[in-house]
Structure 1
Amino acid sequence: MHPHTNARTNARTNAHAHGQSPASLGCAGLRFGWPDGRLLFDGFDFAVSPGRTGLVGVNGSGKSTLLRLLAGELRPESGTVRVRGSLGFLAQDLALDAGLTVAEALGLDRVRAALQAIEAGDASEQNYALVGDDWDVEERTRATLDRLGLDGADLDRRVGQLSGGESVLLGLAGQLLRRPDVLLLDEPTNNLDRAARQRLYDAVDTWKGVLVVVSHDRELLELVDRIADLRSGQIHWYGGNFSDYEQAVEVEQEAAERMVRVAGAEVKRQRRELVEAQEKLARRKRFGQKMYDSKREPRIVMKQRQRSAQESAGRHRVMHQEKVADARERLSEAELAVRADPEIRVDLAATEVPAGRTVLTLRDVCPRYAPPGTSLTLELRGPERIALVGGNGAGKTTLLRTITGELPPLGGEVLPFVPLRYLPQRLDVLDDGLSVVGNVARLAPAAGDNAIRARLARFLFRGAGAEQPVATLSGGERFRATLAALMLAEPAPQLLLLDEPTNNLDLASVRQLATALASYRGALVVASHDLPFLRSIGVDRWLLLDGDGLSPSPAL
């Protein structure tokens, strides 16, 4: 058995045997790396007690991996994980079997069957054992589903009939029903509409146990008690919510930038002193040579003075060089403390759409799964930017897939007039077995390797980073790789369809994406619940998709 499994089991056993409380979660001396040799954690320590902890960090820093290690889904090379109490985990890439019923997905099917059998007169011991103390399980389940806005999710309904947001809420409902002492949430607001997000906020705000949440949702992070910032394989702790964290980081950065200025000035001073010392020694050397040439003193005395001058010059040179090296080292350390978020750059002239050119037409379209009689009409011209909004289950993803041709409509016409590309929520357009370079080459076979690498650098994949297998990328890195592959595909996309693009991005990456889209010259249709992001990309039209069809919506 793996060492961290022993620690987890023993901690739980001891906690229950001695009635210990409160719940807690932690790890010590954790070491973990990917098969490609990248070491993510080495001697890593982390501990949380009751309360709400927000885990933040740039994409690729290891937030999701850390949660999977704590949940036991990944095994570390060494170190221990300790959980006191029961543990629940809601993963970012929650994948529920579409063929399951809601009851089966929640793990209630056997208890329900036993209850129904007892009610029908089968009073077997096995049925009573299955029910245990859960006589009110159906009522409790429906109350939890109602609380999360899933009152329409009948227990016998198939998971495949739920929207992406409803699936996330169903996963959360499953965790709440199990009542874990420790709950880990990885990007729980992904795919959730405003109403669903508010319900999740309420659930988080009233949580009494240990909660660790990874999120880019600022409103959610405002509800936490502390922030754990994961940087370079180490945790940096900040008390308070996200606003408090930002203020603390701002103070840190101001101090770090002052240190850079001071260290830079010290490097210049030491360089200047080195030059002055060298000039002084050169003058002494010239004077000594002049004395030697004029033979004013005995030769043996002048030789001794020359050797002493050379030794002194050597000592002074080494001393000043060491001071310069020390000053440069202090400057490097100071620069490391300053955070710099690199920017994605998109400057592709081939994506430009002239103003007034018809890009897309929808004529009386009835998408699949839409109510009978649904009729959607839309005209998109020039480099227009459309925000597609609506509640979970309204059909936004289905409409985007209909525009791409992936789902033929039940009626009407979809007429795209320019090359288009679609960025789906699940980012499943890449081949996990290929590198980032290999995936771009697959979509742009005529482009040379050097040209692809030069373009990938704009998306922050440089050198060995471009050679990474897609399967090893973090959520944010995978997003950048997918965006790069679509943008660099041939022909260049003049219409870009984005489905919840900020789901897997940290806050810095959301800013990067907004900057990248600001320089994109084509047309955009973006389905998103992230209102701050939509406002940041210069939306021209807001369209609401609901049971009444597609209608203009006031700017949100």
Structure 2
Amino acid sequence: MTTSVSVTLDGVAWHTPDGRCLFSDLTARFDGRLTGLVGRNGVGKSVLAQMMAGLRVPSAGHCRRVGRVHYLPQQVAVIPGQRVAELAAVDNVLAALLRIEAGSTDPADFDAVGEQWMLRETLQQALFDAGLEGVSADMPVDKLSGGQRMRVALVGALLQPVELLILDEPSNHLDLAGRQWLAAQLRARGQGVLLVSHDRLLLAEVERIVELSPQGLRSHGGNYASYAQARAATRAAAETLLQQRRHERRKGEQELRVQRERLEQRSARGSRDAARANQAPILLGLQRQRAEANAGRARQQLQQRHAGLDDAVRQAHAQLDAPPPVLLMPALLPGGPEWVVRLEGVRLPWSDPAQPALDLSLRRGQRLAVSGANGTGKSTLLKLLAGQCEAVAGNVQVAVPAALLDQQLAVLPPQCSALQGLRESNPLQEEAVSRSRLSLLGLDAAQAVLPSARLSGGQRLKAALACVLYADPPAQLLLLDEPGNHLDLESLEALEGLLRQYRGTLVVVSHDPAFLQAIGIDATLQLDRDGWRLQPA
């Protein structure tokens, strides 16, 4: 890549339609280095990425680009009847190639093709390399799974003739092989990529990490390991400073209290002496006025010193990040059947007819991970256990209340607010309790009543998770389909902590080994070429 690329932010700000300031006064420069953009859910990473790609205009400030930029959103929009070439955003070039091959001499067709004369062959090879054997440019997208669609979109993005790719949460919906493939593609490209992600596997490949927070943008040289180390050191230093400022305030308040008592004693003594003094009334009045003025100045100085101590604590506290989200443990009924799930000779709908039947039994409290390549039926299995679809063959028994958090977050429709969704899942819960639980997740009073479509991906996932966890009756079989998608690192750690304490039966689809290890998975169900395999974790 020979063309230089840069995106420069100069005092950039963004205000939401309701007037809320998402971020302000951002000044930074992004060059061709492979860069990761991280930050808490809802802080504005996607908005900033779209602004850098020229898809949004800043509310204030300027964003200047040098070089061509292509942006891939975190949610791949699929239109009914859409073909693979359209999803990959290469259909215009392929259509121009066909017209040229048919004899077109239109300059617009040649401009559209540019240097991509071998795009048809390149696309097919790239699809194969991405693990999409048998997928062609003309294939309907609705035949592909969510993970396969994301791979197609990524293949298309990587083929764009641009100097800067902005990829927004690109590993969402990808299986482990897909994440490894994407990491290899980033290594091969080497530069010209801005990666909005919290995927530790991908962030290990970057040269620089930029963190967006309410305090602005902070740049860290190196990959995720060096960023995590620097961030931990920064937080430790901020906590030490805060404790020091609080100690100084306590000590200062004690000293101010003593000085205030002495001042009051001197003032009282002066009043008594003046009352006993044998002086003319006019002189006594002037003396009293001078004493009161001196006492007033002394009190004002004490108040200023106290305000200074408070201000020092506030400034130290501002250097700390916002507290991590809190997920409360749902209250489960004691006891229940020993065997929660029994599947005998089950064949999943929409699966390959050659796929072997599934036999599976789960005990109360068991923790199962379901793994396998994209498109093998993992999400369908969870829907089957949740009662949202029926088996083609076999017997399905689920003996306890089940709740499913799917990848599309169907439990929280786009037009539904977080508060409304939580109230519908638990009508007897007081509204104040619902609001409190959403607040602990980082959703303030205004965000709790917004249509969920206006929340960030991570905020909407946390709201949907609350609808599942705090439902009435509480789920004794919890089904989670890629729950780490969209979550920032702090939220992911909070989810890990809650799932470690969950005492119901857990079935989770995830391709994050660190996440599965953290929540204490005790068995893995994997579908491969030899069929279903259940093995200890």
Counterparts of 1:303 and 1:276 in 2: how far apart (Å)? 28
Matched, 1:191 2:173: yes
Note if contact 1:352-1:383 (Cα within 8 Å) is conserved in structure 2.
no
Aligned match of 2:163 in 151, 176, 181? 181
- Amino acid across the alignment from 1:266: E
Aligned match of 2:51 in 69, 72, 81? 69
Give the aligned partner of residue 133 of structure 2: 151
TM-score (ref. length: structure 1)? 0.88
Give the aligned partner of residue 368 of structure 2: 386
TM-aligned CA distance change 1:333 to 1:146, over 3 Å: same
Secondary structure in 2 aligned to 1:184? strand
Give the aligned partner of residue 304 of structure 2: 322
Give the aligned partner of residue 499 of structure 2: 517
Aligned match of 1:57 in 32, 39, 47? 39
Give the aligned partner of residue 364 of structure 1: 345
Counterparts of 1:361 and 1:460 in 2: how far apart (Å)? 38
Mean alpha-carbon deviation: is it higher for 390-399 or for 493-502? Answer: 390-399
Give the aligned partner of residue 313 of structure 2: 331
Note if contact 1:420-1:494 (Cα within 8 Å) is conserved in structure 2.
yes
- Residues 359-415 of structure 1: per-residue CA shift (max 9 Å, x gap): 222121101222225211111221221111112222111211222232322111222
Note if contact 1:31-1:77 (Cα within 8 Å) is conserved in structure 2.
yes
Q: CA deviation at 1:141?
A: 1.4
- Amino acid across the alignment from 2:476: Q
Q: CA deviation at 1:85?
A: 1.9
Q: CA deviation at 1:115?
A: 5.8
Give the aligned partner of residue 498 of structure 1: 480
Note if contact 2:164-2:192 (Cα within 8 Å) is conserved in structure 1.
yes
- Residues 294-341 of structure 1: per-residue CA shift (max 9 Å, x gap): 446666655544433322222111101110101110111001112243
Size of the aligned set, in residue pairs, is 534
Counterparts of 1:47 and 1:27 in 2: how far apart (Å)? 6
Counterparts of 1:504 and 1:56 in 2: how far apart (Å)? 11
- Amino acid across the alignment from 2:304: E
Over aligned residues, Cα RMSD in angstroms? 2.7
TM-aligned CA distance change 1:98 to 1:550, over 3 Å: farther
Give the aligned partner of residue 551 of structure 1: 533
Q: CA deviation at 1:343?
A: 3.6
Counterparts of 1:145 and 1:379 in 2: how far apart (Å)? 37
Counterparts of 1:102 and 1:522 in 2: how far apart (Å)? 41
Secondary structure in 1 aligned to 2:61? strand
Note if contact 2:344-2:394 (Cα within 8 Å) is conserved in structure 1.
yes
- Amino acid across the alignment from 2:465: L
Q: CA deviation at 1:74?
A: 3.1
Aligned residue runs from structure 1 range 533-548, under 5 A: 533-548=515-530
Aligned match of 1:125 in 86, 102, 105? 105
Aligned match of 1:266 in 248, 251, 263? 248
Counterparts of 2:307 and 2:227 in 1: how far apart (Å)? 35
Give the aligned partner of residue 287 of structure 1: 269
State percent identity of aligned pairs.
Answer: 36
Counterparts of 2:398 and 2:536 in 1: how far apart (Å)? 26
- Residues 127-175 of structure 1: per-residue CA shift (max 9 Å, x gap): 9847665442222112222332223323333222222222111111111
Secondary structure in 2 aligned to 1:236? strand
Q: CA deviation at 1:20?
A: 9.5
Counterparts of 1:468 and 1:133 in 2: how far apart (Å)? 46
TM-aligned CA distance change 1:454 to 1:208, over 3 Å: closer
Secondary structure in 2 aligned to 1:545? strand
Q: CA deviation at 1:530?
A: 0.9
Note if contact 2:344-2:396 (Cα within 8 Å) is conserved in structure 1.
yes
Aligned residue runs from structure 1 range 68-147, under 5 A: 68-97=50-79, 99-109=81-91, 112=94, 122-125=102-105, 129=110, 133-147=115-129
- Amino acid across the alignment from 1:444: N
Give the aligned partner of residue 476 of structure 1: 458
Note if contact 2:411-2:421 (Cα within 8 Å) is conserved in structure 1.
no
Give the aligned partner of residue 189 of structure 2: 207
Matched, 1:221 2:203: yes
Counterparts of 2:296 and 2:497 in 1: how far apart (Å)? 53
Secondary structure in 2 aligned to 1:206? helix
TM-aligned CA distance change 1:450 to 1:109, over 3 Å: closer
- Residues 182-228 of structure 1: per-residue CA shift (max 9 Å, x gap): 10011111122222212111111122442110111112112111111
- Runs of 5+ in structure 2 lacking a partner? none
TM-aligned CA distance change 1:158 to 1:266, over 3 Å: same
Counterparts of 2:133 and 2:463 in 1: how far apart (Å)? 38
- Residues 468-510 of structure 1: per-residue CA shift (max 9 Å, x gap): 3312211111111001112222222111110001011111110
Counterparts of 2:385 and 2:228 in 1: how far apart (Å)? 40
TM-aligned CA distance change 1:177 to 1:531, over 3 Å: same
- Amino acid across the alignment from 2:504: G
Note if contact 1:346-1:520 (Cα within 8 Å) is conserved in structure 2.
no
Note if contact 2:443-2:459 (Cα within 8 Å) is conserved in structure 1.
no
- Runs of 5+ in structure 1 lacking a partner? 1-18
Q: CA deviation at 1:179?
A: 2.7
TM-aligned CA distance change 1:107 to 1:302, over 3 Å: closer
TM-score (ref. length: structure 2)? 0.91
Mean alpha-carbon deviation: is it higher for 366-375 or for 287-296? Answer: 287-296
TM-aligned CA distance change 1:297 to 1:505, over 3 Å: same
Aligned match of 1:252 in 218, 221, 234? 234
- Amino acid across the alignment from 1:72: G
Note if contact 1:54-1:213 (Cα within 8 Å) is conserved in structure 2.
yes
